[in-house]
Every structure is written in structure tokens, then in C-alpha cells.
Structure 1
């Protein structure tokens, strides 16, 4: 049964509210975001895009990702990317472990998602990448001026998708 909640509405809702949605609903919302990421890829970000990044001085939609991509399986990047979570601009990253985040905290899941997406997008930065929590943002993840802004609602959707791929591999 499909929720009446759209992916864009889920992003602007409180992330905690997504914990009460069934895993199947969160998985479908993640698939919707993945489809939209592929449709928006490369577009100028004058219009609202879900994954805006700065690229050669312009704001564009980041490369899309497949709905089967497990964003909580960070690639082995050899620790090339330095991430920092003690920003002064974003909200505090909660450290409590959540069942709906595969037993990880928001802070832990944000690190995995950050590493996976930054690697997928080909982001190479010599200094640390600041990772900010921006709940209620109209986008899922944005990378601008060395700062990665993650909407925590996106983490709950990505974690549900990861659970689906894990259970599919086990069966």
C-alpha cells in the first residue's frame, strides 16, 4: 500500500516522523528520489533540484544514482576524504542509535552516505568536508563550497533501501 506522502514532502517533514512509516513506504520514497536524481542529473539548479552541487562555479544537479545503490555501504576510498561534523552552521547530529537507521545513529549513517555520495559524484577536496544536518530542507543532499548539507529525512529513506538490498542478498 502506497503512502500519500511524496518524496519531496518527506524531505520537508520531521525526520522522526519517517520512523513511523512502514519500511516499504520508506523504500518506495527512496526509489522515487533515485528516479528523480537520474531525471535531474546535470540540470542547472535554477529550479529546485534534490541533489544540488557546485560544479565548475555553477550550481547543477548532481549525477543521479540507481535505486538499488546502498548508500550506507561506503566505498573503500582509502580515507581520502576528510569529513568533519562539528560545524557551526548546521544542527547537532544525534548520536542515539535508531532501528530505522539499521542500528546506526544519524551521525554514523550521515558519514556513510556522505562518503558514498561524494565518491559517486567524483568530489575531490584537499581539506576537510564539513557535513551539516539541515532538517526540513527542500533538498536531500547538497554540496556547495566544501560543505555537504544532508537532510536527515533522506538518511531514513536511504537506510530503508539498504535494508531491502541486504535482505534481498540474504534470500
Structure 2
């Protein structure tokens, strides 16, 4: 004679076996979709904080300029765009002031070393004004770092040299600078400024190019405000 506990155990044993088979059958499926789920969660955590707001870069604008261009290149487009806007705002604040050690865009104006006229955060430095169309440039690797010719997705498909020429035309046009001869364009990696123009030489920090090119067609999905 079997007691009630034995009967209950035996009665539910087939159901338990079916349930175990069902659960075990799920495991192969889980092995396929769990890695993808974990990757998605990892990307979401990287892109957003706990409130769903975009995570800002730990770099300040000046730290970005003093970093290697490779470090800046691999920041997200949204972060690079925000750093560019910050630099643009600082350029407006510094415009016309003494450029001794603080200006992001130092130039020689007359006999003074001053901060160049600023540009607004929405400025597209890859669209030169008519004033810069007649300028001639020399990119001479013998006088400094070589300008890379390989095209980069993070530069909107341009090479550093191509991006540097567009930015050079735009800024010199905005600043009203009309040199008599060709302007030498030097690559100034790690410089404490973005762009400097002294004695007919334009020195461009390549890290700034990766910030300037964050604005444009590719930046429209980065949440322009």
C-alpha cells in the first residue's frame, strides 16, 4: 500500500520529466541568443547612463587637442560634436583677446598676438566661403609631420590632408586673411591650440579635424539642437 506522498510523487513525475525536457531543450536556443543579448546590453550601457542620457566624454576640449588624433577619432560622433561645439563657444569668448598661452586659435594681427575671430557652434568648417577659394596651400612633409592621405570614415570620407585644406580655407576666409603667396600648412599634433596662423604658416592640430568633421551630414543623427 503506497501512502499519499508516494502517490503524489509518482503522479507528478511524468509532468516533471516533461518540464525538464522542455527546459533542457531551451538551452541550445539560449546559447545562440544570450551572447547577442549581452552584447546589446553592453552597447546600451556604454552609450547611455542609468537615466538613458548620452554619456559625455571624460575629455575636455583642451585634453582632446593635446591627445593623439587616434584617441579623438574613436570617440563617438556625438561626443566629438559636443567637443567641437565647446571649442566653437570658446573661440567666440576669446576672440580679440591676447593669445598668450590660452587662445585656441592664435594669430598675428598687425603686431599683436591675439585670438582669431570666433565661429558659432553650428559652423560647418568643411564649407569654405568664397573668400577662401583663391588661397593656395603647401603641404610639405619635409617641414614637419606628414599629412596622412588615407581616407577615414570619421573624417566624412576625407583624408587628414583633404580635411585640413577645407578647414584652412574656411578659417582663413572667416578671419579675413589674404596672404600674398602660398600658405604652408603644418601638422601640429598634440599642440595646446586647434589652429594657429603665424608668419604665413598655418599650423593645424589634427585632433581638431576629427572634431570639426563631426558636424555635417553624418552629425544629423547625433542630435543637433
Q: TM-score, normalised by structure 1?
A: 0.93
- Give a deviation string over 1:51-107, Cα, whole Å, max 9, x none: 000000111000000010100112234742111111543210000000000000000
The answer to whether the aligner puts 1:32 opposite 2:109 as a matched pair is: no
Identify if the C-alpha distance between structure 1 residues 83 and 43 changes in structure 2 by more than 3 Å, giving closer, same or farther.
Answer: same
The answer to whether the aligner puts 1:5 opposite 2:56 as a matched pair is: no
Could you list the runs of 5+ residues in structure 1 that have no partner in the other structure?
none
Q: Is the 8 A contact 1:87 1:130 kept in 2?
A: no
Q: Is the 8 A contact 2:129 2:174 kept in 1?
A: no
Partner of 1:18: 72
In structure 1, the residue corresponding to 2:189 is in which secondary structure? coil
Identify if the C-alpha distance between structure 1 residues 166 and 83 changes in structure 2 by more than 3 Å, giving closer, same or farther.
Answer: farther
Most deviating of 43-52 and 147-156:
43-52
Partner of 1:44: 98
Structure holding more helix per residue: 2
RMSD, aligned CA: 1.6
Most deviating of 101-110 and 16-25:
16-25
Partner of 1:62: 116
Q: TM-score, normalised by structure 2?
A: 0.71
Q: Which has the larger radius of gyration?
A: 2
Partner of 2:167: 113
Could you list the runs of 5+ residues in structure 2 that have no partner in the other structure?
1-54
